[in-house]
């Protein structure tokens, strides 16, 4: 049986392939085949390719763009979509395990559909390292499918280091205290070649742009090291950290949720600790 997978650059799509292979032999449609990004054009192409291949299922990574395209595909086909899955098995009905409430609970569900549509939560399934699937061709999109498309990009303010690709992230929360307080966060990030992140409370206060937000409604990250400064660790924020290899938490409250879930913790005033870490790094260089 053929399985269709919407592929985009990065690890999440390779992780989605792991679950897709349980349903059959993957074939891929490349998201970058439509530039600039146009979700309706991709959804239309997926619908045509799925029919041509008689695909047993359609998969995509549960990224912002992956979920958007798959939601539009579900609307076109009038079929249910199981989003943010961490496990799936074929059958009649198919079975899925989904992240719900920002990852605070798991939902076991049955997907009653002649063609399951599934997105895979990023950084929850290890990529199996299998070969890339053969690509299916995509005809030129119609003008009507290009009505919604990306018209431009706003450059990030984090020095060009992408949150999604960063190996190290230094992130600040409400405990930083102000927009100006992020100067010490930026200084440490610069020394480490890291990206600067923040919590939702920070963006809500207007201290940092939304593009810096880590969490369920921000960017889901998978760095080697995530340094959280003055972040309590609300469920929504923790949902964005599931892919982090190591978490270092700095907080004055030792019972803060993130402190209890971190690999390493430092209890104290971040306004003293962060500059001290930066000074020690400079001393050793």
Q: What is the pLDDT of residue 145?
A: 93
Half-sphere exposure of 29 (CA within 13 A, CB side): 28
Digit-coded pLDDT (tens) for 69-83: 999 999 999 999 999
For residue 213, pLDDT beyond 90: yes
| 63 vs 268: CA distance, rounded Å | 35
Q: What is the pLDDT of residue 236?
A: 85
Other C-beta atoms closer than 10 Å to the C-beta of 156 total 15
pTM surpassing 0.95? no
Which residues, other chains included, contact 51 with Cβ-Cβ below 8 Å and sequence gap of 6+?
none
Domain 2-146 belongs to what topology? Rossmann fold (3.40.50)
Other C-beta atoms closer than 10 Å to the C-beta of 181 total 18
Digit-coded pLDDT (tens) for 162-204: 888 899 999 999 999 999 999 999 999 999 999 999 999 999 9
Digit-coded pLDDT (tens) for 131-143: 899 999 888 899 9
Digit-coded pLDDT (tens) for 264-275: 999 999 999 999
Q: What six digits make up the tokens of 93?
A: 């009905």
Helices 270-284 and 182-192, interaxial angle, to 10°?
30
Segments of the chain assigned to CATH 3.40.50.620: 2-146
| Total residue count of the chain as it appears in this document | 285
| 49 vs 57: CA distance, rounded Å | 11
* CATH 3.40.50.1220 is the classification of domain 168-284: yes
| 226 vs 217: CA distance, rounded Å | 18
In this prediction, what percent of the chain has a pLDDT beyond 90? 78
> In the structure, what pLDDT confidence band is assigned to residue 227 with cuts at 50, 70 and 90?
very high
Q: What six digits make up the tokens of 70?
A: 């798959």
Task: Identify whether 36 is preceded by a cis peptide bond (ω within 30 of 0).
Answer: yes
The dihedrals phi and psi of 119, each to the nearest 5 degrees, come to: -110, 145
For residue 104, pLDDT beyond 80: no
Q: Mean pLDDT for the chain?
A: 93
Digit-coded pLDDT (tens) for 17-60: 999 999 999 999 999 999 999 999 999 999 999 999 999 999 99
- Say if CB 85 and CB 138 are below 8 A apart: no
Segments of the chain assigned to CATH 3.40.50.1220: 168-284
For residue 261, pLDDT beyond 90: yes
Give the start-end residues of each E strand in the chain.
2-7, 25-30, 58-61, 81-89, 94-100, 105-111, 117-120, 168-172, 195-198, 225-229, 246-251, 264-267
Q: What is the pLDDT of residue 157?
A: 58
Helices (H), the chain: 11-20, 39-53, 64-77, 182-192, 200-204, 235-238, 257-261, 270-284
> In the structure, what pLDDT confidence band is assigned to residue 152 with cuts at 50, 70 and 90?
confident
| 93 vs 188: CA distance, rounded Å | 51
For residue 155, pLDDT beyond 70: no
Start-to-end CA distance of the chain, whole Å, equals 57
Determine the Cα angle at 19 with ends 150 and 13, to 5°. Answer: 30
């Amino acid at each position: 049986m053929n399985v269709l997978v919407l592929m985009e650059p990065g690890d999440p799509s390779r992780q989605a392939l792991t679950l897709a292979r349980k349903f059959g032999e993957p074939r891929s449609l490349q998201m970058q085949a439509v530039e600039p990004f146009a979700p309706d054009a991709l959804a239309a192409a997926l619908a045509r390719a799925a029919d041509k291949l008689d695909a047993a299922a359609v998969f995509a990574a549960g990224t912002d763009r992956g979920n958007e395209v798959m939601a539009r595909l579900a609307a076109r086909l009038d079929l249910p979509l199981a989003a943010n899955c961490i496990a799936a098995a074929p059958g009649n009905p198919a079975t899925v395990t989904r992240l719900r409430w920002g990852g605070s609970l798991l939902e076991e569900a049955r997907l009653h559909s002649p063609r399951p549509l599934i997105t895979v939560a990023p950084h929850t399934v290890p990529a199996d390292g299998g070969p890339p699937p053969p690509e299916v061709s995509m005809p030129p999109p119609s003008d009507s499918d290009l009505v919604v498309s990306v018209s431009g990009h706003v450059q990030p303010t984090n020095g060009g280091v992408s949150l999604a690709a960063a190996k190290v992230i230094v992130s600040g929360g409400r405990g930083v205290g102000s927009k100006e307080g992020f100067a010490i966060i930026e200084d440490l990030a610069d020394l480490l070649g890291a990206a600067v992140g923040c919590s939702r409370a920070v963006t809500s206060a207007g201290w940092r742009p939304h593009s810096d937000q880590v969490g369920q409604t921000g960017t889901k990250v998978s760095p080697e090291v995530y340094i959280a400064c003055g972040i309590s660790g609300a469920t929504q924020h923790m949902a964005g950290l599931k892919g982090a290899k190591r978490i270092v938490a700095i907080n004055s409250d030792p019972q803060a949720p993130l402190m209890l879930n971190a690999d390493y913790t430092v209890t104290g005033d971040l306004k003293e600790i962060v500059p001290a870490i930066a000074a020690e790094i400079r001393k050793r260089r």
